[in-house]
Amino acid sequence: MSEEQVFDLSVKASLDNLQQIRSYIDRAGERLGVNERTLGDLRLVVDEAVTNVVLYGYEGVDGTIELHMHADGDAVIIRIRDRARSFDPSQVSAPQLDTALKDRPFGGMGIYLIREMTDEAEFLPRPGGGNEIRLTKRGAIQSTRGQSQVPE
Amino acid sequence: MATLNILVGHAQGNVPVTVLRVEGDIDAATHKILQDKAAEVIDTGSTHILLDLGGVNYMGSAGFRAIHAISNMLHKDDTPGLLKSTHLKLLNPTDPVARVIKTLGFDVYLDIYQDRDTAVNSF
């Protein structure tokens, strides 16, 4: 039998809350036993996902973002939910990494980082409107601290 | 309110170099502070900038948008196609920032140094 640790955060969709969200990832990740390098990746991908929700989902309209983080074996799963307009990441062009910077268009880096630094990144519509971004990072847990094992 | 501290210094390499020492997290809420400070020093005559990232523990894609914009400002008169910047270089990025620099391919565009004097004298 194992007791699962789940960490939730609900915040106003605002760029001013990015620091608070990264701190939440740090605290939850530390409790789950996530190694430091992976924690850096999780901070980054969540920051990028939330930034996209604020800038391109809610577009300045008041809204809420809910975050949910838990461990599944050695993987960390993070869900980011909103009630913003639907978002199709396939419409975002990948950055042109082999093009001179002066000739390279802006944009596309956030989605690219999310895909590069997770094992799975799913962008799902929510019933009733909004989106859920489900991020999976495998091999993230370095010990059993994230799952309190009860001796038999 | 998100903040970012930027200290402006000057050094002499083969040309005058403006050193921007950044302290704080560079995200979508703060990247404009860096971009605006760089625009300010460029407007007042700086042509070569060393961006000291030793005090930055977090930088997301917004920070790279700012660096991209700064590079474009410094290279506005160059012919297209130049790959490595001769006007903008990076100093002492922390491990998490260096990892993102590499993932986004910015190490192809910008020289990265660990030592300030070596960086300044490379201009």
CB under 8 Å to A82, separation ≥6 — which residues?
A13, A53, A57, A58, A63, A64, A65, A66, A130, A131
Task: Give me the total of CB pairs closer than 8 Å, taking one residue from chain A and one from chain B.
Answer: 87
Domain topology for B5-121: Transcription Regulator spoIIAA (3.30.750)
Count of domains observed in chain A: 1
Average pLDDT over residues A21-44: 95
Does A113 fall in a domain? yes
C-alpha distance from A113 to closest chain B C-alpha (Å): 8
pLDDT value at residue A2: 46
Q: What is the CA radius of gyration of chain A?
A: 16
A62-93 pLDDT, tens digit each? 999 999 999 999 999 999 999 999 877 777 77
DSSP B107: T
pLDDT value at residue B81: 62
CB contact under 8 A, B104 and A112: yes
| pLDDT at residue A53 greater than cutoff 50 | yes
What angle, 0 to 180 degrees and rounded to 10, lies between the N-to-C axes of helices A109-116 and B95-103?
Answer: 110
Residues in chain B with pLDDT < 50? none
Please give the structure tokens belonging to residue B89. Answer: 């270089």
Burial zone of A6 (CB within 10 Å; 0-12 exposed, 13-18 middle, 19+ buried)? exposed
Closest C-alpha among B110, B92, B109 to residue B20: B92
Burial zone of B23 (CB within 10 Å; 0-12 exposed, 13-18 middle, 19+ buried)? middle
CB distance from B109 to chain A under 8 Å?
A: yes
| Confidence bin at A149 (pLDDT 50/70/90) | very low
What's chain B's average pLDDT?
Answer: 94
C-alpha distance from A15 to closest chain B C-alpha (Å): 5
This model of the complex carries an ipTM of 0.91
CB under 8 Å to B85, separation ≥6 — which residues?
A101, B71, B74, B75, B109, B110, B111
pLDDT value at residue B84: 84
pLDDT value at residue A152: 39
Closest C-alpha among B33, B17, B24, B30 to residue B90: B17
Which is higher by pLDDT, A151 or B23? B23
Does A152 fall in a domain? no
Does A151 fall in a domain? no
Closest C-alpha among B49, B67, B109 to residue B85: B109
B69 contacts on A by Cβ (under 8 Å)? 106
pLDDT value at residue A1: 41
pLDDT value at residue A150: 42
pLDDT value at residue B76: 81
pTM of the predicted protein model = 0.90
CB under 8 Å to B93, separation ≥6 — which residues?
B53, B54, B56, B101, B112
Handedness of CA A34, A111, A132, A47 (dihedral sign): positive
Instruction: Find the domain containing A77 and state its range.
Output: 2-146
pLDDT value at residue A25: 97
B72 contacts on A by Cβ (under 8 Å)? 101-102
B23-56 pLDDT, tens digit each? 999 999 999 999 999 999 999 999 999 999 999 9
- Nearest 5°: the CA angle B5, B38, B1 is 35
Report the CATH number that the domain containing residue A130 is assigned in CATH: 3.30.565.10
Question: What is the largest distance, in Å, between two alpha-carbon atoms of chain B?
Answer: 40
A82-122 pLDDT, tens digit each? 999 987 777 777 787 777 887 777 888 999 999 999 999 99
pLDDT value at residue A90: 77
Residue of A nearest to B83 (CA): A100
